[in-house]
Amino acid sequence: MIAFVFPGQGSQKVGMGVDLAAASSIARETFEEVDEALSQKLSALMAEGPEDELTMTANAQPAIMANGLAIARVLEAGGVSLSAKGEAVAGHSLGEYSALAAVGAFSLADTARLLRIRGDAMQAAVPVGVGGMCALLGADIEKATALAEAAAQGDVCEVANDNDPGQVVLSGHLTAIDRAVELAKEYGCKRAIKLPVSAPFHCSLMGPAAEKMAEALAATPPQAFRLPLYANVTAAPVTDASAELDLLVQQITGRVRWRESVGAMADAGIEHFVELGGKVLGPMIKKIAPDARVTSVVGMDDIEALAKDI
């Protein structure tokens, strides 16, 4: 049993999609369709940079989605139907939109536009310098939660991403994040690293962004999708499009429950996780479900090998 999974922000890099576009007209058409939807040459930014511009939230989110969907489309054209070969899909944060697009809930153009709105709204929700995030290494969810509560001291400090048994990310006011980094070892964490992000994602400070996404999704709601999706905020499968609309709004301020999502998929019988568009989720998945098989697909060689394998 196979699940197709899609990475989130941080998996972008200059040069992404270049080799695939050179090898496949379907990939080139996918990138052109995203360019047209955004009225921007995003594909050129993906290919050539500059890196600081590609890393901007409003660019990184649709770029990562475009890369994952290009790979999915090339796979489909080569006879690997995600809905026929897979049992479920999932995505980390913005990757949930990629997963939904891959199984028909959104068109490619609508997904690109929604992610541009999402990126802009998340960036605008909190002034630069007010919020921050940090990764806790060697910390489980219990240690991370206790640390967040201790560091808050009247500010917002919350668990944003429960990524795997040894990696949890906190988000909130920068003052609280700084305190969390200082207190990390006292709470049993091996290491705390401030993340180079421009906004405190997946915490209650993102409330204004959630309101904007509620409006955007009401205007472009998800349609029926061909495979169950394991939603970030519930770590449970969802098949109802109207329920998923609400979950996508909740996701803006809610915790990305990736460890629990992978565990739930493994418990449901998923044995093979195929990451489309990155090599970020694979290491997390192996820590959560050591017996699972993980395949990362980023280029044409990977696509051809997977097509032969499944």
Cis amide linkage into residue 237, ω under 30° from 0: no
The pair of three-digit structure tokens given for residue 288, joined into one six-digit string: 């959560």
Amino acid at 165: P
Angle between helices 108-125 and 25-38 (to 10 degrees): 50
| Whether residue 173 lies in the annotated active site | no
What whole-number distance in Å separates Cα of residue 35 and Cα of residue 112?
A: 9
What whole-number distance in Å separates Cα of residue 21 and Cα of residue 264?
A: 35
DSSP 12: -
Instruction: Determine the Cα angle at 263 with ends 258 and 268, to 5°.
Output: 125
Are 35 and 110 contacting, i.e. CB atoms less than 8 angstroms apart? no
What whole-number distance in Å separates Cα of residue 57 and Cα of residue 120?
A: 7
Instruction: Determine the Cα angle at 46 with ends 44 and 48, to 5°.
Output: 60
What lies within 8 Å, CB to CB, of 176 at 6+ separation is 151, 152, 153, 155, 156, 157
Instruction: Determine the Cα angle at 222 with ends 214 and 11, to 5°.
Output: 80
Q: Which of 171, 202, 261, 296 is catalytic?
A: 202
| Whether residue 93 lies in the annotated active site | yes
Could you please report the per-residue DSSP string of 178-206?
Answer: HHHHHHGGGGT-SEEEE---SS--SSGGG
Q: Which of 93, 171, 261, 296 is catalytic?
A: 93
DSSP 81: -
Cite the active site residues. Answer: 93, 202
